[in-house]
Every structure is written in C-alpha cells, then in structure tokens.
Homo-oligomer: A and B are copies of this chain.
Amino acid sequence: MTDTSRELGVGQVGYAFMGAAHSQAWRTAPSFFPLPLTPRLRALCGRDVGAAQAVADRFGWESVESDWRALIARDDIDLVDICTPGNTHAEIAVAALRAGKHVLCEKPLANTVEEAELMADAAAEAATQGVYAMVGFTYRRTPALSFARRLVADGRLGTIRHVRAQYLQDWLTDPDVPLSWRLDKSLAGSGALGDIGAHVVDAAQYVTGSAITSVSGVLRTFVDSRPVAGDHSTLGGSGSADAERGPVTVDDAAAFTASFANGALGVFEATRFATGRKNAMRLEISGSDGALAFDFEEMNLLQVYDATEPAETAGFRRIVVTEPTHPYTGAWWPPGHGLGYEHGFTHQVVDLVDAIAAGEQPRPSFADGLSVQRVLAAVETSAEDDSRRHTVP
C-alpha cells in the first residue's frame, strides 16, 4: 500500500503514443508496487487543449495545460515528464530542472550532442540540490533485460567477447507509407539510428556494464521521398502512390561495428525495413563463461547459456522471466503469466520514484543519455567518413 501522506505531483508534456504509455504507468505503479511517494497526476500539457483534455479524462489527469512553461511554473508539480519529440527536450528539461522539478525525459535525450550536453550539465547541477533527471530508456525495465544485467554483473558470463544487437522493424517497407515527424530530421534528429538504434545502444551498455569506445558505421535511406499526406498511424500507415511526395531526411537503417571498453566486439543494426519483423529488439552477448540472448518479440523470455556446464548438457535455457525473484515480476502475476510492452513504463516510474525518495541519482541519468547520444553521433560521423572508425568522446 502506498503512503498517502507523501505525494509527488506529476505534470506530463505530450499525450500521443508515449504520452499514453506514461500516463498508464503513473497511474498503475502505485497499485502494484509499494511506493515511498504517491504520484498525483496533476496536469497533462499539450498545445491542442481539446485533445489533451480527452487523454486527461481517459487517464485521470486532474487538469490540462497548453503551455509547458505554465506547467513548470505550478507549485503543485514536483516532476515534469517529457513525452514530446526530441527537438523540444532540451529546452523543456533544462527549464524544468532549473525550476527545481525532477525530470523524466523520453529518449533519445536530444537531437544533438550539444543539446544533450546542456541537459546533462543542467541535470548534474540540479542533482546537487536533490533534484533528479532520468532519461526514458524503458527497455532496461523489461524484466528479462534487467535480469540479464544482473547475470552479467554477477560474472555469470565471464569475460564479454561479443555483443550482437539488432532493432528490427518493418513499418517503412512499403514506399507509400506517408511522411511523419519521425522521418523529418529537424524534428526527430535522425531516423532508425536515433529512434531504435538508441535503445539497443543503451541496452547493450546497460546489460554489459561497459561503454562503447569506438564505432564504424553506415546509414542508408532506401526510400527518399514519401507521400506528404495519408492515413498516418504511430508507426506506419498507408498513403497513395499518386500523392504529392516530400523528402525523407533521416536514415531508414543504420549498421555499425563497435568496440567496448571491456574489449568486446559489437555488431549493431537498426532498421525500419526488416520485412516481417515488428519489434525485434534483440541482444545477444557472448562471454567466456556463458551467453544470453533476448528478443523483445518474446519479451518474457531470456535465453541463457552456461558454458561451465558439461558440454553434453549445456544449451541455451529458455527462461520464462516471471518468477517472484526476477526483477519486477513478483509484484505482478504468478509464474508464466507474462507482462507486456507497457509494463516497462510502470517499472520506470517505480525506479524513478524510489530514487527520488531515497535522494539518489536515478539511472539512466542524463549523463547516460548523453553517452548514448555520443555513440549515435560517432556513428553518423563515421558514416559520413567512409565508415572510418571514430572514437566516442
């Protein structure tokens, strides 16, 4: 049961795909987890007040704001949750932190390294005052990946040799899928690289506990113009081949090799053209004593190989990550009763609220987000430089 004597006033900016996921998480977290602070859904902020109000009604937000500056100015808001496109993150986050509000910011942290650095600096400054910032790499909170990190940290894999990471989607395979903000560099910063590549970069660094130190990359845009209008959905939609077309200004796919600080060799691929793969966020890590493999399309499973077993009984174990001792899962259902995509957002709220209450820096911090940003930037630089290996600063 939550302690109602201490509350955390939440204001959320943005109400679309990510906004719904965050709203559901804020409301659900205290129902299943004992939280030291009870989130209060104070205000939902969106430029289209009517649309925002509708979402607010659906999820129980107490009020609506049309201007994020007004939201930040409110005394009853302790935390600002930023669910807008990447080009707006820096301004809102820095303002909120300077106003003494905790911040949860969707990934990628920003569209440029420069903005990300500003944000990380602001976060470091705020932290000295007990005001904390976190970036929303929710895949970390998938129980299987959180458990994977624990196994690596416990040394179960020994020395890490290989990281193979893929994030495969296929919603752009049809050349007539219409343009959206995700295909506009000025709003999204980059394409597959920043949108989904960012997730596997973070997941790889998180699970291995080791940073990427250099990369050699390539970007590819397979379809360089698309219908300007159409029946657009969050990911995908359908347009007409006859319609007016506008330019795609981001990458459709990115691939890169990477060196990790621990000596491991990484191979990364992020694409929206992997026909038939809907959300295959995959990670396989090979170490001297074991290995693990994960695919988000089967998110409740983790494959783990123990190389210290005799060869004749060794094999990848299909672990159903729903046991009471697995991360997060004890709060939910009995073994075998799996979780879904949005549970990662609930776990994110839990970890964030716990850290704030404890006066500790939540992870992934803005510094963690900046490190991802630097990897992505190095990939872009390498891609523009004939794939030459570039060091990640």
Contacts and interface: CB of A to CB of B under 8 A. Distances in A.
A31 interface: yes
A324 B233 contact: yes
Nearest to A322: B278
**How many protomers of this protein does the assembly include?**
4
B311 A286 contact: no
Interface string A250-267: 000101110100010101
Nearest to A316: B318
Given A1-B57, A315-B319, 4 more contacts: A21-B333, A279-B336, A296-B338, A338-B341
Given A222-B161, A274-B162, A312 B265 contact: no
A220 B57 CA distance: 52
Interface in A140-176: 147, 151, 157, 161-162, 164, 166, 169-171, 173-175
Contact of A275 (B222, B253, B291, B326): B291
A214 B85 CA distance: 35
A216 B214 CA distance: 14
Contact of A337 (B318, B336, B341): B341
B255 A267 contact: yes
A316 B317 contact: yes
24 contacts: A1-B58, A2-B58, A20-B32, A24-B31, A27-B27, A147-B312, A161-B173, A162-B273, A173-B307, A275-B288, A275-B291, A275-B305, A277-B291, A297-B320, A303-B315, A303-B318, A304-B313, A312-B325, A314-B319, A337-B340, A337-B341, A339-B341, A382-B387, A387-B389
Interface centre among A28, A236, A311, by most chain B C-beta atoms within 10 angstroms, is A311
